[in-house]
Amino acid sequence: MPMLALLLAGALLDRAHPAFDAMKAQQISAAVRFLSDDLLEGRGTGTRGHAIAERFVAAQMQALGLAPAGEDGFFQRVKLCESRAQGTLAVNGATVGNVLVAGDCGAPARDLEGELAFAGYAQPGEVGGLQGKIALVLAGAPASLPSTQQALAASNEEKLARLRGAGAIAEIVLTTPEVDARRPWALLQRNFANGQAHDADQLPPMPVVYVDLRESEKLRGNAGQRAKLHVDQQNRTLESANVVGLLPGASKEMVVYSAHLDHHGICAPGAADAICNGAIDNATGIAEMLEIARGFAALPKRERSVLFVAVTGEERGLLGSAWFARHPTVSREQMIANLNLDQLLPAYPLGELVLRGAELSTLEDHVRAAAGELGLKIVADPVPEQNFFARSDQLNFARIGVPSACLWQGFSGARGEAAFKDFRAHRYHQPSDEWSAAYDWEAAAQMARAELLVGVSLLTGPRPKWKPDAPFR
C-alpha cells in the first residue's frame, strides 16, 4: 500500500461522519426526479429547460451555503454557435448513402473537393501528406493502447487538430464493427437530432462527415479516389451557463467536483415520447454532486476549499467544461484535483470502484485510501472499449494540468453487468432514461459518500501530482 494510503487509513471515516449523516438517498432521488421531469424538456444546452435546471442548481447551492463563484453570481455564461447541417458525399460521381454531417458554423453552403486519403486513427505519424485532401479516419483508437490512453487517443478533437496541421480540408469518420456495437447508427442519428454546437471562441477547423458501417467498409477501399462534399448549414448563436459554487476552506487551494447538467432535450421530434429526460445521464451526477456539497458543508472545518461546477454542453462535445478550462472563474493554479461524476447507475449496491484517470496521478492514492475504509474493491475498467475517460468533462480539467478522474461503480458482480447492459441497450440517450422509484437510491448515496471520502482525503497533505508517464504531465 502506498505510504499516503497507510497514513490516511482509519482516519477518513472519523472525519466524514458529520458529512455522511447529512447525506440522504431520498434527497438524491428527489433532485433526479425534478431534473428529469418532462417540464425541463430534456435540459438541452441553451434551452429554457436547461435554464430552469441552472436556476435549480444555483438555488440548491445557495441553500447549502456555497458562495457564488461564477461571473454573474453562480452563473458563467458560455457563448455557443449551433449548426444544423446536412450534406451529400460523392466518390467518383457516385453518391454515398447514410451520411451525417457535423457543421462547423462556417459558410451556409460550400463545396469541398479533394482526393480521399486514409489516415488510420489519425494518431501522430499517421497524418502526413494530407494537403488539400479529405481524410478517411477510423473512429476510436488502436486496441493495443492501455484503457485510459486508448480513450485519449480516440478523442476526435485531437484528431482534427492533427488533420488540420497536415493540411486536410475535411474528415470522414469511418466506423468499425467494434465502434458500431457500442454506438449504433440509430444512436448517432439521435445525437444529431438538434444539430451540432461549438464554443463560439473555438470553432472546429473543418466539417466532419460520419457514415454507417456498410459505407465505411466501402469507403476504406476508395483511398486515392476523388470525392466531393457539399455542405448546407444553418447557424445560430446562443448562450448556456455553467453553475459554479464554492465552499471556502482555510486554504484557497481547492478540490473540484464537476458533473454535466445538460442532456439531449427533445431528441425524437414527432414521437409519442419525444423527450430524452436524462435521469441517469446525468441528473444522477448533478444530484450526487449536490449531496456531496451538503456533506462538505456539514464538516466542522475544511483545510482546503471545495469547488462545485455543474457544466453545460457535455452532450454537445464537452463544451461547458472546455469553456471553463479556457476561462476559469477561479485560479487555475489553485485547483488541485478534479472528481467528475457522470452517468452513475443506481441499480445495484456499490462494491467496486474503477479509477478512470486516477491511476495517472497520485490521486490514485486518495481513491485507494477511501475505498479501503469503505470496503470497496478497486477493479480494472470492465468496458475499456467505451473510452469513457475522453468522453466526459474530466478530460478538460486534465488538459489544463489538474489531476482528474471520473470514478465509476464498476459492475460489482453479474447483477451489475446485466443492469449496465440493459441501460445501454434500452435507455442510454433515449426517452426511456427516466426517474424511477425502483432504482436503488441508497446505492446512489453510497457512491456519493465514496466520492466525498476521496475529497476528504484531499483536504490535507501534498497536492496530487501526475505520474512520470502520464500524458498530461
Cα torsion 32, 38, 42, 48: sign: negative
Cα(129)–Cα(132) distance, integer angstroms: 9
Cα(140)–Cα(278) distance, integer angstroms: 25
Predicted TM-score (pTM) of this structure: 0.92
Chain centroid to CA 453: 22
Q: What is the pLDDT of residue 151?
A: 81
Each residue of 235-281: pLDDT tens digit? Answer: 999 999 999 999 999 999 999 999 999 999 999 888 999 999 999 99
DSSP letter string over 342-399?
A: -----SS---EEE-TTGGGBTHHHHHHHHHHHHTPEEE--S-GGG-GGGGSTHHHHHH
Each residue of 381-438: pLDDT tens digit? Answer: 999 888 888 899 999 999 999 999 999 999 998 899 999 999 999 999 999 999 999 9
Take residue 457 and report the three cell numbers written for it. 482525503
**Rounded to 5°, angle at Cα 202 from 199 and 205:** 120
**Cα–Cα distances in angstroms (integers) from residue 426 to residues 84, 256, 388, 421, 432, in the given order:** 27, 32, 19, 8, 7
Pick the closest to residue 87 from 74, 76, 96 (CA basis). Answer: 96
Each residue of 198-228: pLDDT tens digit? Answer: 999 999 889 999 999 999 999 999 999 999 9
Question: Regarding beta strands 109-118 and 170-174, do their DSSP bridges make them parallel or antiparallel, or are they unpaired?
Answer: unpaired
Q: What is the pLDDT of residue 172?
A: 97
DSSP letter string over 252-266?
A: EEEEEEEEE--B--B
Q: Is the peptide bond before 282 cis (omega within 30 degrees of 0)?
A: yes
CB atoms within 10 A of CB 252: 13
Mean pLDDT (whole number) for 130-137: 97
Which residues in 248-351 belong to E strands, given as ranges?
251-260, 304-311, 335-341
Q: What is the pLDDT of residue 10?
A: 66
Q: Which domains does the chain have, with CATH numbers?
A: 3-80+238-458 (3.40.630.10), 82-234 (3.50.30.30)
Pick the closest to residue 364 from 393, 337, 335, 392 (CA basis). Answer: 337
Three-state secondary-structure class, residue 119: coil
DSSP letter string over 403-415?
A: -EE--B----SHH
